[in-house]
Structure 1
Amino acid sequence: MAGTTTTTAVAASASSLNTDKLNFDKSLSFESLKRVVGEWNFHEGTKTGDALSRIPEGTEVVVTKEMELPAGVVALLPSSVKLICEAGTGYNNIDCEAAKQRGITVCNVPEYSTDAVASMVMTFVLSLSCSLIQQQRKLWGRGSENREAWATLQGLRHFELAGKTMGLIGGRGAIGSKVGEMARVFGMKVLISSRSDRPCPGAEVVSLDDLLERSDFVSVHCPLNHETRSSLGTKAFERMKRSAYFINTARGGIVCEEELCEALDSGLIAGAGLDVQVDEPPAESSRLYDLAQKNLILTPHIGWQRRESRQRLLDSVARNIEGYFRGDPQNVVN
């Protein structure tokens, strides 16, 4: 298989805590992992409270996928644990500082789903630009009302992307850069905001306020950390055009979700596409479900889930483990 390692397996023990999060359709191969570590324990459905019981003494490597490993759990890990591999890009679910204090290396996989997530962003853009969901919804059922829907847009927005502006918050990373590349194919102008003001080929680097005010689509591409948590709320939405759309495929916690709901409900912004939410799934009482009947496209964090991306992710985790045992750890985040 392309991208897999061919080294002899290390005589070590590893535990994958929530394997079903990755292999929910039973379509993936785990051979790349088995080639680098001789003994594996593959668990499913592990919750944070179950983690310690599934990491016995002697385990050297722990693999997780978006599962909370707070300081209290990290502090009680067996002394044999030396490496925690987050099977994904975001690692805000792991207390990296607590791991560092225990001498445990934490690594992630930064670029396994670049094309998949960028495609998800553009799927939102294309769908919002032609009111695709609302257009389909008005044809549900039969009768004269549906027949009339063929003759008019009935007030729904429908516009070309050429000449429109795509604003990428934190857009210098792999996914943001890919979105910029795709947007330019459609004739869109690209703005990015980041900590660095160095030039970015094919895009104009601007302040966040400038980006919000000028963009027709605002897409989030920054990590979730103590600086970005709840950093986008009413003040940001008030700066956006009333005709603009907000897209988030990064992390739900970056956005003040209730304030976004209010902006959508009041018409402060035209609409949104969310593949990530603060709580996944959102609570039954969440306003997101009602807004999904109006001007919100809501998807269940599927951007990274294409089968090819998930296989690439597993193979990349294997390379991270191989690098660690080789004395050359890769993608270390602590």
Structure 2
Amino acid sequence: MSLKISLIIYNEAKLNFDKKLTYDALSSISDVRSFEETGSDQVLERVGSSVVLVTKEMTLSAAVIEDLPASVRLICEAGTGYNNINVEAARKRGITVCNVPSYSTDAVAQLVITFILNLSCSLVPLQRKLAVGDAVGWRSLGSLPHFELAGKTLGLIGGRGTIGSRVADIALMLGMNILISSRSTAGDSKRQGVDIVDMETLLCQSDFVSIHCPLSSSTRHLIGARELKMMKPSAYLINTARGPIIDETALVEALEAGTIAGAGLDVQEVEPLPVDSPLIRMSNVILTPHVGWQRIESRQRLMDTVASNIKAFLDGSPVNVVN
């Protein structure tokens, strides 16, 4: 490829916040311009003659896409979820949209297991006691949960994807039983310790419920008050997928009422999480600010795959196309 195309990264601060990523793969095929942050009102004024737009969880509305110049041929979402892009508007404009699946499989799966391990031994509440100088309380578990994972049941909602499968692999090594809920019944699991069940069965029987489905109109508030009441009072809810899959108001009420034992949340319904959110003060909740994908290896793999997506598109054989 002799000529380089023009490319713009609109919100680099979300991807390369520590300045440790290399853009060698991108630079070999494109002239890269980047901006730390870009508001919705700055997209058009910054686009110039770019052929490729790279975004990370940044809204590209139908109105903005309709006004993009004719030079734009490809939008690359630097991530798996693409609900922030109006893909139908892009299709009407003849603009291809692609994403990057599976780049953070290990990182997110490891975070799910980290939540499970921490919740099973009350690690965070114990550290909170130390933080406020409660050394006496720290020496006694009192009523804090403290149990082994072998024999416990982990329910994976939408757990047939790459991340859910990796979580299942690790959990099986810990001696856990796995329930998987999926709308598809094709290829039912024959693995020992893994059963495919309906969601109601999963919710009723699981000691930990972990969400692994994409956000869509059919999964928004998939877990609400009704579903939370199906769970065991000793069970924990984990979400590393998308925040709005859980009705957060219903979750707060369930946590306060003891309907479930606790939660591990890497994603929230509104991000960044408002400072007055009740979740912040809850001792039975572990919160992380959507960091599951952010490990250095995952982010480098992400940018290298974005470059591979662009090269495949320019070669006439686009991959990871979502529209």
Residue pairs, 1:34-73, within 5 angstroms: 34-37=27-30, 39-56=31-48, 58-73=49-64
**Gapped regions of structure 1 (runs ≥ 5):** 1-7
- Whether contact under 8 Å (1:138, 1:146) holds in the other structure is yes
Other-structure match for 1:272: 263
- Whether contact under 8 Å (1:140, 1:146) holds in the other structure is no
CA distance in 2, matches of 1:147, 1:84: 56
Identity %: 54
CA distance in 2, matches of 1:29, 1:114: 21
- TM-score of the pair, normalised by structure 2: 0.97
- Whether contact under 8 Å (2:5, 2:29) holds in the other structure is no
Could you tell me which of 15, 37, 45 is aligned with 1:22?
15
- Whether contact under 8 Å (2:129, 2:137) holds in the other structure is no
CA distance in 2, matches of 1:244, 1:71: 41
Give 1:280 deviation, angstroms: 1.2
Q: Which amino acid aligns with 1:312?
A: R
Q: Which amino acid aligns with 2:47?
A: I
Other-structure match for 2:71: 80
Other-structure match for 2:236: 245
Could you tell me which of 303, 308, 317 is aligned with 2:306?
317
CA distance in 2, matches of 1:123, 1:177: 16
- TM-score of the pair, normalised by structure 1: 0.93
| 1:332 maps onto 2:316 in alignment | no
CA distance in 1, matches of 2:309, 2:138: 54
Residue pairs, 1:118-137, within 5 angstroms: 118-137=109-128
Distance 1:270 1:148, change over 3 A: closer
CA distance in 2, matches of 1:11, 1:66: 26
Number of aligned positions between the proteins: 320
CA distance in 1, matches of 2:125, 2:173: 26
Give 1:85 deviation, angstroms: 0.2
CA distance in 2, matches of 1:268, 1:138: 24
CA distance in 1, matches of 2:163, 2:254: 26
Give 1:10 deviation, angstroms: 4.2
SS of residue paired to 1:302? coil
Other-structure match for 2:155: 167
Could you tell me which of 105, 110, 131 is aligned with 2:101?
110
CA distance in 1, matches of 2:302, 2:169: 23
SS of residue paired to 2:63? helix
CA distance in 2, matches of 1:44, 1:139: 38
Other-structure match for 1:215: 206
CA distance in 1, matches of 2:280, 2:132: 21
Give 1:232 deviation, angstroms: 1.1
Could you tell me which of 169, 173, 176 is aligned with 1:185?
173
Give 1:242 deviation, angstroms: 0.5
Q: Which runs of 4+ in 1 moved over 2 A?
A: 8-11, 139-142
CA distance in 2, matches of 1:10, 1:200: 49
SS of residue paired to 2:4? strand
